[in-house]
Structure 1
Amino acid sequence: MEKLIIEARINEYASRGDNPHVPWTVEEIGRDAAAVAQAGAAIVHFHARAADGAPDHAASTYAAILRAIRAAAPGLLVHPTLGQITQSDPERRIAHILELAQTGALRPEFASLDLGSTNIDVFEGAAVGFRSGDRTYVNTHGTLRRFLRAFRAAGVTPALACWSIPFLRTLGALLETGEVAQPGWVLLVHTEGGILGGHPATEAGLRAFLDHLPAGRRLHWAVCCKEGDAVPLAERAIALGGHVAIGIGDWSYPNRGTPTNAGLVAEVAALARRMGREVASPAEARAMLGLQGVGA
Protein backbone atom coordinates (compact mmCIF):
# COMPACT_ATOMS: atom_id res chain seq x y z
CA MET A 1 0.00 0.00 0.00
CA GLU A 2 1.29 3.47 -0.86
CA LYS A 3 2.44 5.83 1.85
CA LEU A 4 -0.09 8.02 3.64
CA ILE A 5 -0.31 11.70 2.68
CA ILE A 6 -1.44 13.95 5.53
CA GLU A 7 -2.80 17.42 4.83
CA ALA A 8 -3.02 19.80 7.79
CA ARG A 9 -6.08 22.08 7.61
CA ILE A 10 -4.79 24.62 10.05
CA ASN A 11 -7.27 27.48 10.35
CA GLU A 12 -10.15 27.80 7.84
CA TYR A 13 -12.31 30.55 9.44
CA ALA A 14 -12.21 29.03 12.92
CA SER A 15 -12.40 31.27 15.96
CA ARG A 16 -10.15 31.05 19.00
CA GLY A 17 -13.10 30.89 21.35
CA ASP A 18 -13.27 27.12 20.97
CA ASN A 19 -9.57 26.41 20.47
CA PRO A 20 -6.92 29.03 21.31
CA HIS A 21 -4.33 27.38 19.05
CA VAL A 22 -5.89 28.49 15.72
CA PRO A 23 -3.20 30.44 13.79
CA TRP A 24 -4.23 33.76 12.27
CA THR A 25 -1.21 35.96 11.60
CA VAL A 26 1.54 35.41 9.04
CA GLU A 27 4.01 34.53 11.79
CA GLU A 28 1.61 32.12 13.48
CA ILE A 29 0.83 30.34 10.21
CA GLY A 30 4.55 30.03 9.47
CA ARG A 31 5.22 28.50 12.89
CA ASP A 32 2.27 26.15 12.54
CA ALA A 33 3.48 25.04 9.12
CA ALA A 34 6.85 24.11 10.59
CA ALA A 35 5.19 22.23 13.44
CA VAL A 36 2.83 20.18 11.26
CA ALA A 37 5.66 19.35 8.86
CA GLN A 38 7.72 18.06 11.78
CA ALA A 39 4.71 16.01 12.94
CA GLY A 40 4.27 14.32 9.56
CA ALA A 41 2.16 16.55 7.30
CA ALA A 42 3.11 16.79 3.62
CA ILE A 43 0.57 19.52 2.75
CA VAL A 44 -0.63 22.59 4.64
CA HIS A 45 -4.00 24.16 3.81
CA PHE A 46 -4.72 27.66 5.10
CA HIS A 47 -6.93 30.73 4.86
CA ALA A 48 -5.31 34.15 5.10
CA ARG A 49 -6.58 35.94 8.21
CA ALA A 50 -6.26 39.44 9.65
CA ALA A 51 -4.86 40.00 13.13
CA ASP A 52 -8.39 39.93 14.56
CA GLY A 53 -9.22 36.71 12.71
CA ALA A 54 -11.27 38.29 9.92
CA PRO A 55 -10.80 36.94 6.37
CA ASP A 56 -8.00 38.69 4.47
CA HIS A 57 -8.08 38.32 0.69
CA ALA A 58 -5.12 40.54 -0.20
CA ALA A 59 -2.59 38.91 -2.51
CA SER A 60 0.14 40.61 -0.49
CA THR A 61 -1.00 38.77 2.65
CA TYR A 62 -0.97 35.45 0.83
CA ALA A 63 2.51 36.25 -0.49
CA ALA A 64 3.74 37.01 3.03
CA ILE A 65 2.30 33.71 4.27
CA LEU A 66 3.92 31.76 1.42
CA ARG A 67 7.28 33.32 2.27
CA ALA A 68 6.82 32.43 5.93
CA ILE A 69 5.90 28.82 5.11
CA ARG A 70 8.74 28.36 2.62
CA ALA A 71 11.22 29.73 5.17
CA ALA A 72 9.89 27.73 8.13
CA ALA A 73 9.13 24.44 6.36
CA PRO A 74 11.11 24.10 3.11
CA GLY A 75 9.53 21.55 0.79
CA LEU A 76 6.12 21.50 2.49
CA LEU A 77 3.36 21.51 -0.14
CA VAL A 78 1.15 24.59 0.12
CA HIS A 79 -2.60 24.76 -0.45
CA PRO A 80 -4.28 28.18 -0.03
CA THR A 81 -8.03 28.69 -0.17
CA LEU A 82 -10.14 30.63 -2.67
CA GLY A 83 -12.14 32.09 0.21
CA GLN A 84 -15.27 29.92 0.07
CA ILE A 85 -18.35 32.16 0.61
CA THR A 86 -16.38 35.25 1.66
CA GLN A 87 -16.01 36.37 -1.96
CA SER A 88 -18.55 36.00 -4.76
CA ASP A 89 -16.86 37.52 -7.81
CA PRO A 90 -15.12 34.67 -9.66
CA GLU A 91 -12.16 36.73 -10.82
CA ARG A 92 -11.47 38.05 -7.31
CA ARG A 93 -11.68 34.51 -5.91
CA ILE A 94 -8.61 33.38 -7.87
CA ALA A 95 -6.72 36.69 -8.22
CA HIS A 96 -4.29 35.93 -5.39
CA ILE A 97 -3.50 32.47 -6.78
CA LEU A 98 -2.66 33.84 -10.21
CA GLU A 99 -0.57 36.67 -8.75
CA LEU A 100 1.39 34.26 -6.55
CA ALA A 101 1.99 31.98 -9.52
CA GLN A 102 3.79 34.76 -11.39
CA THR A 103 6.72 34.36 -8.97
CA GLY A 104 8.00 30.81 -9.11
CA ALA A 105 9.16 30.66 -5.49
CA LEU A 106 5.73 31.81 -4.27
CA ARG A 107 3.60 29.68 -6.56
CA PRO A 108 1.50 27.36 -4.39
CA GLU A 109 1.35 23.71 -5.34
CA PHE A 110 -2.45 23.63 -4.97
CA ALA A 111 -5.53 25.83 -5.10
CA SER A 112 -8.89 24.75 -3.71
CA LEU A 113 -11.61 23.83 -6.17
CA ASP A 114 -14.98 22.63 -4.82
CA LEU A 115 -16.65 20.78 -7.69
CA GLY A 116 -20.19 21.96 -7.10
CA SER A 117 -22.50 24.11 -5.02
CA THR A 118 -23.67 23.23 -1.54
CA ASN A 119 -25.58 24.62 1.41
CA ILE A 120 -23.29 25.16 4.39
CA ASP A 121 -25.79 26.67 6.79
CA VAL A 122 -25.98 25.06 10.24
CA PHE A 123 -29.10 23.27 11.50
CA GLU A 124 -29.36 23.67 15.27
CA GLY A 125 -32.34 21.40 15.90
CA ALA A 126 -36.10 21.77 15.70
CA ALA A 127 -36.28 24.34 18.51
CA VAL A 128 -33.87 26.73 16.76
CA GLY A 129 -33.89 25.73 13.11
CA PHE A 130 -31.24 26.89 10.64
CA ARG A 131 -28.72 29.48 11.79
CA SER A 132 -29.16 31.75 8.76
CA GLY A 133 -30.96 29.95 5.94
CA ASP A 134 -28.96 31.42 3.06
CA ARG A 135 -25.31 30.32 3.33
CA THR A 136 -24.65 28.61 0.01
CA TYR A 137 -21.29 27.99 -1.62
CA VAL A 138 -21.88 28.52 -5.36
CA ASN A 139 -19.64 26.95 -8.03
CA THR A 140 -21.17 26.76 -11.50
CA HIS A 141 -19.74 24.43 -14.12
CA GLY A 142 -18.73 27.48 -16.16
CA THR A 143 -16.79 28.91 -13.23
CA LEU A 144 -15.11 25.59 -12.49
CA ARG A 145 -13.95 25.18 -16.08
CA ARG A 146 -12.65 28.76 -16.16
CA PHE A 147 -10.72 28.19 -12.94
CA LEU A 148 -9.27 24.92 -14.22
CA ARG A 149 -7.96 26.62 -17.35
CA ALA A 150 -6.44 29.42 -15.28
CA PHE A 151 -4.81 27.03 -12.81
CA ARG A 152 -3.34 24.90 -15.58
CA ALA A 153 -1.84 27.96 -17.28
CA ALA A 154 -0.41 29.08 -13.93
CA GLY A 155 1.12 25.68 -13.10
CA VAL A 156 -1.09 25.19 -10.03
CA THR A 157 -2.81 21.86 -9.28
CA PRO A 158 -6.48 21.94 -8.24
CA ALA A 159 -7.29 20.34 -4.88
CA LEU A 160 -10.63 18.82 -5.81
CA ALA A 161 -13.12 19.02 -2.93
CA CYS A 162 -16.22 16.84 -3.22
CA TRP A 163 -19.05 17.27 -0.71
CA SER A 164 -21.44 14.70 -2.16
CA ILE A 165 -21.95 12.25 -5.01
CA PRO A 166 -22.96 14.90 -7.59
CA PHE A 167 -19.54 16.50 -7.11
CA LEU A 168 -17.93 13.17 -7.98
CA ARG A 169 -20.08 12.91 -11.09
CA THR A 170 -18.82 16.35 -12.11
CA LEU A 171 -15.28 15.13 -11.44
CA GLY A 172 -15.92 12.21 -13.77
CA ALA A 173 -17.12 14.56 -16.49
CA LEU A 174 -14.08 16.85 -16.14
CA LEU A 175 -11.76 13.85 -16.25
CA GLU A 176 -13.52 12.69 -19.40
CA THR A 177 -13.02 16.05 -21.10
CA GLY A 178 -9.40 16.20 -19.95
CA GLU A 179 -9.95 19.41 -17.99
CA VAL A 180 -8.84 17.67 -14.79
CA ALA A 181 -5.41 16.11 -15.13
CA GLN A 182 -4.23 12.92 -13.51
CA PRO A 183 -3.11 12.01 -10.94
CA GLY A 184 -5.70 13.99 -8.99
CA TRP A 185 -5.86 15.05 -5.33
CA VAL A 186 -9.48 14.58 -4.23
CA LEU A 187 -10.85 15.64 -0.84
CA LEU A 188 -13.96 13.78 0.32
CA VAL A 189 -15.73 16.26 2.59
CA HIS A 190 -17.72 14.87 5.49
CA THR A 191 -19.76 17.18 7.71
CA GLU A 192 -21.18 17.00 11.22
CA GLY A 193 -22.29 19.59 13.79
CA GLY A 194 -25.43 20.58 11.90
CA ILE A 195 -23.80 21.17 8.49
CA LEU A 196 -25.92 19.07 6.15
CA GLY A 197 -24.10 19.68 2.86
CA GLY A 198 -21.60 16.81 3.11
CA HIS A 199 -21.74 13.11 3.83
CA PRO A 200 -21.94 12.08 7.49
CA ALA A 201 -18.60 11.08 9.03
CA THR A 202 -19.51 7.41 9.17
CA GLU A 203 -18.36 4.27 7.44
CA ALA A 204 -21.52 4.37 5.33
CA GLY A 205 -20.88 8.02 4.41
CA LEU A 206 -17.37 7.22 3.24
CA ARG A 207 -18.50 4.08 1.44
CA ALA A 208 -21.05 6.10 -0.55
CA PHE A 209 -18.24 8.38 -1.73
CA LEU A 210 -15.99 5.49 -2.68
CA ASP A 211 -18.79 3.68 -4.51
CA HIS A 212 -19.05 6.70 -6.84
CA LEU A 213 -15.40 7.67 -7.19
CA PRO A 214 -14.67 7.71 -10.96
CA ALA A 215 -13.37 4.27 -11.85
CA GLY A 216 -10.21 3.57 -13.78
CA ARG A 217 -8.65 6.95 -12.98
CA ARG A 218 -5.46 7.84 -11.11
CA LEU A 219 -6.94 9.58 -8.08
CA HIS A 220 -5.52 9.98 -4.60
CA TRP A 221 -8.43 10.57 -2.22
CA ALA A 222 -8.38 11.95 1.30
CA VAL A 223 -11.04 12.35 3.97
CA CYS A 224 -11.82 15.39 6.10
CA CYS A 225 -14.61 16.27 8.51
CA LYS A 226 -15.99 19.74 9.12
CA GLU A 227 -17.37 20.27 12.64
CA GLY A 228 -16.64 16.74 13.79
CA ASP A 229 -13.90 14.33 14.85
CA ALA A 230 -12.04 13.12 11.76
CA VAL A 231 -9.82 10.60 13.57
CA PRO A 232 -12.21 7.61 13.35
CA LEU A 233 -12.77 8.43 9.69
CA ALA A 234 -9.00 8.72 9.23
CA GLU A 235 -8.53 5.21 10.60
CA ARG A 236 -10.94 3.84 8.02
CA ALA A 237 -9.24 5.78 5.21
CA ILE A 238 -5.82 4.52 6.26
CA ALA A 239 -7.08 0.94 6.14
CA LEU A 240 -8.60 1.43 2.67
CA GLY A 241 -5.57 3.07 1.08
CA GLY A 242 -6.84 6.64 1.23
CA HIS A 243 -5.26 9.71 2.77
CA VAL A 244 -6.16 12.14 5.56
CA ALA A 245 -6.80 15.90 5.80
CA ILE A 246 -7.25 17.07 9.37
CA GLY A 247 -6.85 20.16 11.50
CA ILE A 248 -8.36 22.53 14.03
CA GLY A 249 -9.57 24.72 11.20
CA ASP A 250 -12.32 22.17 10.64
CA TRP A 251 -13.20 21.56 14.31
CA SER A 252 -11.84 22.53 17.71
CA TYR A 253 -11.57 18.90 18.97
CA PRO A 254 -12.78 19.51 22.54
CA ASN A 255 -13.00 15.73 22.97
CA ARG A 256 -9.23 15.58 22.48
CA GLY A 257 -8.38 18.49 24.76
CA THR A 258 -8.41 21.27 22.10
CA PRO A 259 -5.08 20.14 20.58
CA THR A 260 -2.71 21.95 18.26
CA ASN A 261 -2.64 21.14 14.56
CA ALA A 262 0.71 19.41 15.07
CA GLY A 263 -0.82 17.29 17.81
CA LEU A 264 -3.59 16.08 15.50
CA VAL A 265 -1.16 15.36 12.67
CA ALA A 266 1.11 13.43 15.04
CA GLU A 267 -1.87 11.38 16.25
CA VAL A 268 -2.82 10.42 12.68
CA ALA A 269 0.81 9.63 11.79
CA ALA A 270 1.16 7.39 14.86
CA LEU A 271 -2.14 5.67 14.03
CA ALA A 272 -0.95 4.96 10.49
CA ARG A 273 2.32 3.48 11.69
CA ARG A 274 0.51 1.25 14.19
CA MET A 275 -1.59 0.03 11.26
CA GLY A 276 1.54 -0.77 9.25
CA ARG A 277 1.44 2.19 6.88
CA GLU A 278 4.28 4.68 6.53
CA VAL A 279 3.73 8.43 6.21
CA ALA A 280 4.79 10.28 3.05
CA SER A 281 7.27 13.13 3.26
CA PRO A 282 6.52 16.28 1.27
CA ALA A 283 8.97 15.13 -1.41
CA GLU A 284 7.33 11.71 -1.61
CA ALA A 285 3.86 13.29 -1.79
CA ARG A 286 5.08 15.60 -4.55
CA ALA A 287 6.21 12.59 -6.58
CA MET A 288 3.00 10.63 -5.89
CA LEU A 289 0.86 13.56 -7.05
CA GLY A 290 3.00 14.41 -10.08
CA LEU A 291 3.67 18.00 -8.97
CA GLN A 292 6.22 20.37 -10.38
CA GLY A 293 9.01 21.60 -8.14
CA VAL A 294 9.00 25.10 -6.68
CA GLY A 295 10.18 27.56 -9.31
CA ALA A 296 9.78 25.06 -12.16
Structure 2
Amino acid sequence: MTMIKACLNGSRKAGEHPALPLTPLELAEAAREAREAGAAAVHMHPRDEAGSESLSAVHIGAAVRAVRRACPGLPVGVSTGLWISGGDVEARREAVRGWAALPARDRPDFASVNLSEPGFSDLWHDLRRLGVGVEAGVWSVDDADALASTGLECVRVLVEIIGGSADTAVSRAHAVLGRLDELSVPGPRLLHGEEGPAWILVDEAGQLGLAARIGLEDVLHSPVGDPVDGNADLVRLALARRV
Protein backbone atom coordinates (compact mmCIF):
# COMPACT_ATOMS: atom_id res chain seq x y z
CA MET A 1 0.00 0.00 0.00
CA THR A 2 1.30 3.50 -0.85
CA MET A 3 2.03 5.87 1.99
CA ILE A 4 -0.32 8.27 3.72
CA LYS A 5 1.37 11.32 5.21
CA ALA A 6 -0.41 13.16 8.02
CA CYS A 7 -0.40 16.96 7.72
CA LEU A 8 -1.01 17.92 11.32
CA ASN A 9 -1.86 21.62 11.43
CA GLY A 10 -0.84 23.80 8.47
CA SER A 11 -1.61 27.50 8.76
CA ARG A 12 -4.84 27.00 10.67
CA LYS A 13 -5.56 29.21 13.65
CA ALA A 14 -6.26 28.12 17.20
CA GLY A 15 -9.94 27.32 17.55
CA GLU A 16 -10.52 26.12 13.99
CA HIS A 17 -10.69 22.55 15.35
CA PRO A 18 -10.68 21.35 18.96
CA ALA A 19 -7.80 18.92 18.29
CA LEU A 20 -5.60 21.27 16.22
CA PRO A 21 -2.02 20.75 17.50
CA LEU A 22 0.11 23.87 17.88
CA THR A 23 2.64 23.39 20.68
CA PRO A 24 5.53 20.91 20.44
CA LEU A 25 3.83 18.57 22.92
CA GLU A 26 0.53 18.74 21.03
CA LEU A 27 2.31 18.06 17.74
CA ALA A 28 4.12 15.10 19.31
CA GLU A 29 0.86 13.60 20.60
CA ALA A 30 -0.89 14.17 17.27
CA ALA A 31 2.03 12.54 15.44
CA ARG A 32 1.98 9.55 17.78
CA GLU A 33 -1.76 9.07 17.24
CA ALA A 34 -1.43 9.51 13.48
CA ARG A 35 1.34 6.95 13.37
CA GLU A 36 -0.75 4.47 15.34
CA ALA A 37 -3.58 5.08 12.85
CA GLY A 38 -1.25 4.17 9.97
CA ALA A 39 0.50 7.36 8.86
CA ALA A 40 3.96 6.71 7.43
CA ALA A 41 5.23 10.29 7.88
CA VAL A 42 4.10 13.64 9.27
CA HIS A 43 4.24 17.22 8.03
CA MET A 44 3.82 20.16 10.39
CA HIS A 45 4.03 23.93 10.75
CA PRO A 46 5.80 24.69 14.06
CA ARG A 47 4.66 27.75 16.00
CA ASP A 48 6.24 30.40 18.18
CA GLU A 49 5.09 31.25 21.71
CA ALA A 50 2.28 33.43 20.35
CA GLY A 51 0.98 30.64 18.11
CA SER A 52 2.28 32.10 14.83
CA GLU A 53 4.04 29.92 12.25
CA SER A 54 7.80 30.06 12.60
CA LEU A 55 10.94 29.00 10.75
CA SER A 56 13.20 29.90 13.68
CA ALA A 57 15.65 27.19 14.71
CA VAL A 58 14.30 27.45 18.27
CA HIS A 59 10.75 26.57 17.23
CA ILE A 60 11.63 24.11 14.46
CA GLY A 61 14.01 22.28 16.79
CA ALA A 62 11.54 22.13 19.68
CA ALA A 63 8.77 20.69 17.51
CA VAL A 64 11.00 18.15 15.73
CA ARG A 65 12.60 17.07 19.00
CA ALA A 66 9.23 16.51 20.65
CA VAL A 67 7.93 14.44 17.72
CA ARG A 68 11.09 12.34 17.57
CA ARG A 69 10.86 11.55 21.27
CA ALA A 70 7.23 10.46 20.90
CA CYS A 71 7.69 8.68 17.56
CA PRO A 72 11.22 7.32 17.09
CA GLY A 73 11.98 6.61 13.44
CA LEU A 74 8.93 8.42 12.04
CA PRO A 75 9.93 10.72 9.15
CA VAL A 76 9.17 14.35 10.08
CA GLY A 77 8.77 17.26 7.69
CA VAL A 78 8.03 20.97 7.91
CA SER A 79 6.87 23.77 5.65
CA THR A 80 9.04 26.58 4.31
CA GLY A 81 6.10 28.56 2.89
CA LEU A 82 7.16 32.10 2.08
CA TRP A 83 4.18 33.54 3.94
CA ILE A 84 5.78 32.35 7.19
CA SER A 85 8.49 35.02 6.78
CA GLY A 86 5.95 37.62 5.66
CA GLY A 87 6.97 37.21 2.02
CA ASP A 88 10.59 38.14 2.73
CA VAL A 89 12.82 35.79 0.71
CA GLU A 90 16.04 36.68 2.50
CA ALA A 91 14.48 36.45 5.96
CA ARG A 92 13.23 32.99 5.12
CA ARG A 93 16.64 31.92 3.90
CA GLU A 94 18.37 33.34 6.98
CA ALA A 95 15.94 31.53 9.28
CA VAL A 96 16.45 28.19 7.52
CA ARG A 97 20.21 28.58 7.46
CA GLY A 98 19.95 29.10 11.21
CA TRP A 99 18.96 25.44 11.52
CA ALA A 100 22.70 24.73 11.26
CA ALA A 101 22.83 25.53 14.98
CA LEU A 102 20.58 22.56 15.71
CA PRO A 103 21.95 19.07 16.31
CA ALA A 104 21.21 16.89 13.29
CA ARG A 105 18.63 14.94 15.30
CA ASP A 106 16.61 18.13 15.85
CA ARG A 107 16.46 19.03 12.17
CA PRO A 108 13.53 17.77 10.07
CA ASP A 109 14.01 14.86 7.71
CA PHE A 110 12.51 16.90 4.88
CA ALA A 111 11.01 20.31 4.15
CA SER A 112 8.56 21.33 1.45
CA VAL A 113 9.68 24.02 -0.99
CA ASN A 114 7.08 25.63 -3.24
CA LEU A 115 8.23 26.10 -6.83
CA SER A 116 5.83 29.02 -7.25
CA GLU A 117 7.73 31.08 -4.67
CA PRO A 118 10.80 33.25 -5.45
CA GLY A 119 14.10 32.06 -4.04
CA PHE A 120 13.22 28.38 -4.13
CA SER A 121 16.51 27.29 -5.73
CA ASP A 122 18.76 28.93 -3.12
CA LEU A 123 16.56 27.59 -0.34
CA TRP A 124 16.76 24.10 -1.85
CA HIS A 125 20.57 24.18 -1.79
CA ASP A 126 20.57 25.51 1.79
CA LEU A 127 18.38 22.63 2.94
CA ARG A 128 20.53 20.03 1.24
CA ARG A 129 23.66 21.46 2.88
CA LEU A 130 21.87 21.02 6.22
CA GLY A 131 21.16 17.37 5.42
CA VAL A 132 17.43 18.06 5.05
CA GLY A 133 15.61 16.45 2.13
CA VAL A 134 13.38 18.54 -0.12
CA GLU A 135 9.79 17.90 -1.10
CA ALA A 136 9.04 19.90 -4.24
CA GLY A 137 5.69 21.68 -3.99
CA VAL A 138 4.23 21.70 -7.50
CA TRP A 139 0.90 23.49 -7.75
CA SER A 140 0.61 23.90 -11.54
CA VAL A 141 1.96 22.92 -14.94
CA ASP A 142 4.19 26.01 -14.78
CA ASP A 143 5.65 24.74 -11.50
CA ALA A 144 6.34 21.39 -13.16
CA ASP A 145 8.25 23.23 -15.90
CA ALA A 146 10.19 25.19 -13.27
CA LEU A 147 11.13 22.01 -11.42
CA ALA A 148 12.28 20.28 -14.60
CA SER A 149 14.44 23.26 -15.56
CA THR A 150 16.40 23.10 -12.29
CA GLY A 151 17.58 19.52 -12.62
CA LEU A 152 17.38 19.30 -8.82
CA GLU A 153 16.48 16.02 -7.18
CA CYS A 154 13.96 15.75 -4.38
CA VAL A 155 12.64 13.29 -1.82
CA ARG A 156 9.24 13.46 -3.50
CA VAL A 157 7.18 15.70 -5.74
CA LEU A 158 4.10 17.08 -4.01
CA VAL A 159 1.37 17.58 -6.59
CA GLU A 160 -0.74 20.06 -4.66
CA ILE A 161 -4.10 21.08 -6.10
CA ILE A 162 -4.76 24.27 -4.16
CA GLY A 163 -7.97 26.25 -4.54
CA GLY A 164 -10.35 26.09 -7.48
CA SER A 165 -13.42 23.95 -7.96
CA ALA A 166 -13.67 20.42 -6.68
CA ASP A 167 -15.20 19.53 -10.05
CA THR A 168 -11.94 20.28 -11.85
CA ALA A 169 -9.52 18.96 -9.20
CA VAL A 170 -8.91 15.61 -10.90
CA SER A 171 -8.36 17.09 -14.36
CA ARG A 172 -5.95 19.69 -12.92
CA ALA A 173 -4.08 16.96 -11.08
CA HIS A 174 -3.74 14.89 -14.24
CA ALA A 175 -2.46 17.91 -16.17
CA VAL A 176 0.34 18.42 -13.64
CA LEU A 177 1.14 14.72 -13.32
CA GLY A 178 1.20 14.37 -17.10
CA ARG A 179 3.55 17.29 -17.48
CA LEU A 180 5.93 15.89 -14.86
CA ASP A 181 6.01 12.59 -16.72
CA GLU A 182 6.42 14.30 -20.09
CA LEU A 183 9.46 16.15 -18.73
CA SER A 184 10.82 12.98 -17.04
CA VAL A 185 11.00 14.71 -13.66
CA PRO A 186 12.47 12.18 -11.19
CA GLY A 187 11.08 11.38 -7.77
CA PRO A 188 7.98 9.70 -6.35
CA ARG A 189 4.71 11.66 -6.52
CA LEU A 190 2.36 12.52 -3.66
CA LEU A 191 -1.05 13.89 -4.63
CA HIS A 192 -3.29 15.94 -2.35
CA GLY A 193 -5.75 18.80 -2.22
CA GLU A 194 -7.27 21.06 0.40
CA GLU A 195 -10.83 21.59 1.60
CA GLY A 196 -13.37 20.61 -1.09
CA PRO A 197 -11.01 18.58 -3.31
CA ALA A 198 -9.18 16.89 -0.41
CA TRP A 199 -11.10 13.61 -0.30
CA ILE A 200 -11.56 13.51 -4.07
CA LEU A 201 -7.78 13.57 -4.48
CA VAL A 202 -7.17 11.03 -1.70
CA ASP A 203 -9.33 8.68 -3.76
CA GLU A 204 -7.64 9.64 -7.03
CA ALA A 205 -4.19 9.06 -5.50
CA GLY A 206 -5.36 5.61 -4.45
CA GLN A 207 -6.60 4.85 -7.96
CA LEU A 208 -3.26 5.93 -9.41
CA GLY A 209 -1.16 4.10 -6.82
CA LEU A 210 0.34 7.35 -5.54
CA ALA A 211 1.15 8.48 -2.02
CA ALA A 212 -1.39 10.85 -0.48
CA ARG A 213 -1.70 13.17 2.45
CA ILE A 214 -4.50 13.96 4.87
CA GLY A 215 -4.84 15.83 8.13
CA LEU A 216 -6.28 18.91 9.75
CA GLU A 217 -4.15 21.12 7.50
CA ASP A 218 -6.11 19.92 4.49
CA VAL A 219 -9.63 19.19 5.72
CA LEU A 220 -11.70 19.25 8.93
CA HIS A 221 -14.41 16.74 8.01
CA SER A 222 -14.96 13.19 6.84
CA PRO A 223 -15.70 12.25 3.21
CA VAL A 224 -19.44 12.57 3.96
CA GLY A 225 -19.08 15.89 5.77
CA ASP A 226 -19.19 14.63 9.36
CA PRO A 227 -16.94 16.18 12.02
CA VAL A 228 -13.73 14.27 12.82
CA ASP A 229 -11.94 13.83 16.12
CA GLY A 230 -8.55 14.83 14.76
CA ASN A 231 -5.62 13.84 12.57
CA ALA A 232 -5.68 10.15 13.50
CA ASP A 233 -9.36 9.92 12.58
CA LEU A 234 -8.60 11.42 9.16
CA VAL A 235 -5.72 8.99 8.59
CA ARG A 236 -7.93 6.00 9.46
CA LEU A 237 -10.65 7.23 7.10
CA ALA A 238 -8.14 7.71 4.28
CA LEU A 239 -6.61 4.27 4.72
CA ALA A 240 -10.04 2.64 4.84
CA ARG A 241 -10.73 4.05 1.37
CA ARG A 242 -7.62 2.31 0.01
CA VAL A 243 -8.57 -1.24 1.02
TM-score relative to the length of structure 2 = 0.88
CA distance in 1, matches of 2:49, 2:167: 33
CA distance in 1, matches of 2:166, 2:158: 12
- Structure 1 residue runs of 5 or longer lacking an equivalent are 117-138, 275-296
Picking from 168, 182, 187, the partner of 2:158 is: 187
- Structure 2 residue 218 is the aligned partner of structure 1 residue 220: no
Cα distance, 1:231 vs. partner? 2.1
Q: Deviations over 1:200-257 (max 9, x none)?
A: 6632122112221144343211122123252221111112121101111123227131
Identity %: 27
- Aligned 1:50-199 pairs, distance under 5 A: 50=48, 53-87=51-85, 88-101=87-100, 102-116=102-116, 139-140=117-118, 143-175=119-151, 180-181=152-153, 184-191=155-162, 195-196=163-164
Counterpart of 1:129? none
Residue type of the alignment partner of 1:209: V
- Structure 2 residue 199 is the aligned partner of structure 1 residue 231: yes
Secondary structure at 1:65's aligned position in 2? helix
Number of positions where the alignment pairs a residue of Structure 1 with one of Structure 2: 238
- Structure 2 residue runs of 5 or longer lacking an equivalent are none
C-alpha distance 265-204 of structure 1, shift in aligned 2 (>3 A)? same
Cα distance, 1:95 vs. partner? 4.0
Cα distance, 1:51 vs. partner? 5.5
CA distance in 2, matches of 1:201, 1:146: 33
Residue type of the alignment partner of 1:93: R
CA distance in 2, matches of 1:163, 1:200: 17
Picking from 41, 44, 62, the partner of 1:43 is: 41
- Structure 2 residue 236 is the aligned partner of structure 1 residue 269: no
C-alpha distance 200-113 of structure 1, shift in aligned 2 (>3 A)? farther
Between 52-61 and 243-252, the greater mean CA deviation after superposition: 52-61
Between 198-207 and 156-165, the greater mean CA deviation after superposition: 198-207
C-alpha distance 152-52 of structure 1, shift in aligned 2 (>3 A)? closer
Q: Which has the larger radius of gyration?
A: 1
C-alpha distance 207-228 of structure 1, shift in aligned 2 (>3 A)? same
User: Which structure ranks higher in relative contact order (CA pairs < 8 Å, sequence separation ≥ 6)?
Assistant: 1
Say if 1:111 and 1:158, in contact at 8 Å, map to a contact too.
yes
CA distance in 2, matches of 1:24, 1:253: 19
Picking from 159, 175, 180, the partner of 1:208 is: 175
CA distance in 1, matches of 2:46, 2:215: 15
Residue type of the alignment partner of 2:194: K
Cα distance, 1:146 vs. partner? 0.9
Say if 1:190 and 1:201, in contact at 8 Å, map to a contact too.
no
Question: CA RMSD of the aligned region, Å?
Answer: 2.3
Counterpart of 1:283? none
Counterpart of 1:252? 220
Cα distance, 1:52 vs. partner? 5.3
Residue type of the alignment partner of 1:262: A
CA distance in 2, matches of 1:148, 1:18: 32
Secondary structure at 2:241's aligned position in 1? helix
Counterpart of 1:286? none
Secondary structure at 1:244's aligned position in 2? strand
Say if 2:33 and 2:232, in contact at 8 Å, map to a contact too.
yes
TM-score relative to the length of structure 1 = 0.73
Say if 1:11 and 1:22, in contact at 8 Å, map to a contact too.
yes
Between 87-96 and 205-214, the greater mean CA deviation after superposition: 87-96
C-alpha distance 13-72 of structure 1, shift in aligned 2 (>3 A)? same
